[in-house]
Amino acid sequence: MCTHVNLCLQVVSGINKGSNCGYHIVYSGTVAGAREAFFNGVPSVSLSYEWVAGKSKDDDFVLAAEACMPIITAISTEIKNNTYPQNCFLNIDVPADVANCKGYRLTKQGKTIFKMGWRQVVSEAQGGRMLSTMTMDSSASKEASVEESTLSTGQEHLIFKREVRGTQMDEGDNDYSFLRQGYITVTPLGALSPPPMDGVEFFEGWLPGVH
């Protein structure tokens, strides 16, 4: 979706079904859409809604869009006034209970990730339906995010179920933590996600010894 305000372009990528926080930002197509616009000098925002299986409804996407409109409108004003930053774009995540969200919270990218895997099942009924890998929350069961896949081997069809094999939860002052607290998280991103300082310090000491 693109908005056009007084000849000033703004790209809004999303709304994605499922949050895009932590390491998921790296391979999110929704975030990539905003990043590509940023690469081309166009102010951009990526939007994601924290869909939770069995709780969220399609109407929640409307509420999520409405909740983000003040941010999008404010960005348009800054673009019109030539005061919008050119060195970053925004990644916005809306909590599942958007009707009772706590407001906006400026955050930084964390390290949360859900590690996915596959296991073979006997019937299609056991396979279930696909949900985004970003739709999981820390209290959800492994059954909440699944995907069917059929692999033909001659006359035999094998059915696999996608499931969560593990999680890496990043607590503290970061995007996923504040999203779980019920905030709409607003995370500035650069062309590349900033590396952790301990990693930078490691390579500062390591690289001079490489020959």
pLDDT tens by residue, the chain, 211 residues:
444 333 457 999 999 999 999 988 988 999 999 999 999 999 999 999 999 989 999 999 999 999 999 999 999 989 998 999 988 999 999 999 999 999 999 999 988 877 778 888 886 555 554 444 445 554 443 334 444 455 555 556 788 887 778 777 777 789 999 999 999 999 999 887 666 677 778 788 877 887 5
Query: Quick one: 140 and 85 in the same domain?
Result: no
Q: Is residue 102 part of a domain?
A: yes
Query: Quick one: 120 and 163 in the same domain?
Result: yes
Give Cβ neighbours of residue 162 (< 8 Å, ≥ 6 apart): 116, 117, 118, 130, 145, 146, 147, 149
Query: Quick one: 149 and 160 in the same domain?
Result: yes
Per-residue pLDDT at 66? 96
Per-residue pLDDT at 180? 93
Query: Quick one: 161 and 194 in the same domain?
Result: no
Rounded-to-integer distance, Cα 15 and Cα 10, Å: 15
Query: Quick one: 181 and 161 in the same domain?
Result: no
Q: Is residue 207 part of a domain?
A: no
Per-residue pLDDT at 153? 52
Per-residue pLDDT at 125? 55
Query: Quick one: 68 and 144 in the same domain?
Result: no
For 53, the token pair is 């299986």
Query: Quick one: 104 and 27 in the same domain?
Result: yes
Per-residue pLDDT at 123? 67
Q: Is residue 162 part of a domain?
A: yes
Query: Quick one: 38 and 68 in the same domain?
Result: yes
The residue among 160, 148, 155 whose CA lies nearest residue 118 is 160
Query: Quick one: 145 and 53 in the same domain?
Result: no
For 54, the token pair is 């069995």
Q: How far is CA 111 from the centre of its chain?
A: 12
Per-residue pLDDT at 124? 58
Per-residue pLDDT at 156? 65
Per-residue pLDDT at 32? 95
Q: Is residue 31 part of a domain?
A: yes
Q: Is residue 9 part of a domain?
A: yes
Q: Is residue 177 part of a domain?
A: yes
- Domain tally, the chain: 2
Q: Is residue 140 part of a domain?
A: yes
Measured CA angle at 122 (ends 116, 124), to 5 deg: 75
Query: Quick one: 38 and 119 in the same domain?
Result: no
Per-residue pLDDT at 132? 47
Core vs surface per residue 110-146: b (16+ CB within 10 A) or e:
bebbbeeeeeebeeeeebbeebbbbbbbeebeeebbb
Per-residue pLDDT at 196? 67
Query: Quick one: 98 and 123 in the same domain?
Result: no
Rounded-to-integer distance, Cα 61 and Cα 49, Å: 7
* Cβ pair 132, 17 in contact under 8 A: yes
Per-residue pLDDT at 16? 95
* Cβ pair 128, 141 in contact under 8 A: no
Alpha helices (H) in the chain, listed in sequence order: 24-27, 29-39, 59-80, 124-127, 175-180, 197-206
The residue among 60, 49, 66 whose CA lies nearest residue 135 is 49
Q: Is residue 206 part of a domain?
A: no
Per-residue pLDDT at 155? 54
Query: Quick one: 14 and 105 in the same domain?
Result: yes
User: Containing domain of residue 86, as a range?
Assistant: 2-111+170-198
